[in-house]
Amino acid sequence: MNSNSAEHTDRGIEDAPDGDCCTASHSLTDEALLDDVAMLSAVGNETRYETLRYVAGAGQAGACVCELPPLVGVTQGTVSNALSRLLEAGLVSRRKEGRWRYYTATTEARTLLLALDTIQEGSDE
Amino acid sequence: MNSNSAEHTDRGIEDAPDGDCCTASHSLTDEALLDDVAMLSAVGNETRYETLRYVAGAGQAGACVCELPPLVGVTQGTVSNALSRLLEAGLVSRRKEGRWRYYTATTEARTLLLALDTIQEGSDE
DNA sequence: TTCAAATATTGGAATACTCAAATATGTATC
DNA sequence: GATACATATTTGAGTATTCCAATATTTGAA
């Protein structure tokens, strides 16, 4: 019932970039696509995004888990889970120091957050 | 039960950037934070991310809805819902033309996708 | 070893999300 | 008008998320 897509390649758009008229495409491998989605969905949650922002705000020194629960406003267990998920997505790295663990934002995370800052800037000018 | 965060400001990290030792912070307003999360969670889904990639791949001409279902591999209704959600998140804009509708990626979306490309590049060198 | 602090993991109830199917709303052509 | 096509919206069943509470683990100090 959904084979009607080749039917109107003759539409009135002439400024198509180069190549076929209206066949959209993208150049991501399936793996890259899934990686991106995993990363984006990891940050696409208020608790995790705010946690990541705090971690990134702590710079190279990193943020220790214990200071985050009151800042983010969730339980210690929730923060720990959030950090684990961010770690798995490659957005933070972990460093042991005594009985504490310091989480630091990765380059990937910084790139992403910078892009988001850029977007926010553009939205009010 | 969770007031134990001020208790170890005397930890052994001396390379703190500037200012207080271990108090993490971030400078986002609550509104900006929610905006970002809305945007990120909109793209943090395989169907919507792939849809956005196809739309962005179609350039300024935009992609019409009818060509997307077979490309993304979901129903027409699902694509339509995906586009609505992307529209609400400010990632695509819509243009009517006859009985078709063309969706175009916004500047915000392009900035985000570019950042993701940068991140992917960095991951294999 | 015993204790306490820091962090991780698990269980589970409430909630939210996903997507196809069905239906509704436009829009051009006849 | 009527008809057919393009798109949007609604519905609902299945599934996944979210976050707290409770428990487990790890670690340093006594």
Which CATH number fits the domain that encloses residue A77?
1.10.10.10
**Mean pLDDT of all residues in B33-44:** 97
CA–CA distance from A78 to each of A39, A48, A50, A81, A83 (Å)? 19, 9, 12, 5, 9
In a domain, A110, yes or no: yes
Of B16-20, B36-40, B42-46, the least confident = B16-20
The residue in chain B having the minimum alpha-carbon distance to the alpha carbon of residue A30 is B50
In a domain, A1, yes or no: no
Question: Of the candidates A26, A42, A75, which has its C-beta nearest B57's C-beta?
Answer: A26
Gap between the terminal Cα atoms of chain A: 46
Say whether residue A84 is in contact with chain B using an 8 A CB cutoff: no
In a domain, A49, yes or no: yes
Q: Are A92 and A104 in contact (CB under 8 A)?
A: yes
Looking at residue B73, its amino acid is G
User: What's the token pair of residue B39?
Assistant: 């945007």
A49 touches strand D (CB under 7 A): no
In a domain, B14, yes or no: no
**Mean pLDDT of all residues in B13-36:** 66
- pLDDT higher than 90, residue B93: yes
pLDDT in the model for residue B26 = 82
- pLDDT tens across A19-36, in order? 344 567 888 899 999 999
Banded model confidence at residue B12, pLDDT cuts 50, 70, 90: very low
**Mean pLDDT of all residues in B75-81:** 97
Q: Are A113 and B112 in contact (CB under 8 A)?
A: no
Please report, rounded to a whole number, the percentage of residues in chain A having pLDDT higher than 90: 70
pLDDT in the model for residue A23 = 65
Gap between the terminal Cα atoms of chain B: 46
Q: Give the domain extent around A43.
A: 31-122
In a domain, B7, yes or no: no
Residues 30-69 of B with CB under 8 A from A: 32-37, 39-46, 49-50, 53-61, 63-64, 66-69
In a domain, A93, yes or no: yes
Banded model confidence at residue B1, pLDDT cuts 50, 70, 90: very low
pLDDT in the model for residue B27 = 83
In a domain, A40, yes or no: yes
DSSP state letters, B38-88: HHHHHHSSHHHHHHHHHHHHTGGG-EEGGGHHHHHTS-HHHHHHHHHHHHH
Inter-chain residue contact A5 with B50, CB threshold 8 Å: no
Q: Dihedral, CA atoms, B84, B86, B92, B95, nearest 10 degrees?
A: 0
A12 touches strand C (CB under 7 A): no
In a domain, B3, yes or no: no
pLDDT in the model for residue B3 = 32
Domain count, chain A: 1
A84 touches strand C (CB under 7 A): yes
What nucleotide is nearest A72 when CA is compared to C1'?
D19
Inter-chain residue contact B22 with A76, CB threshold 8 Å: no
Q: Residue ranges of chain A with pLDDT lower than 70? A: 1-23, 125
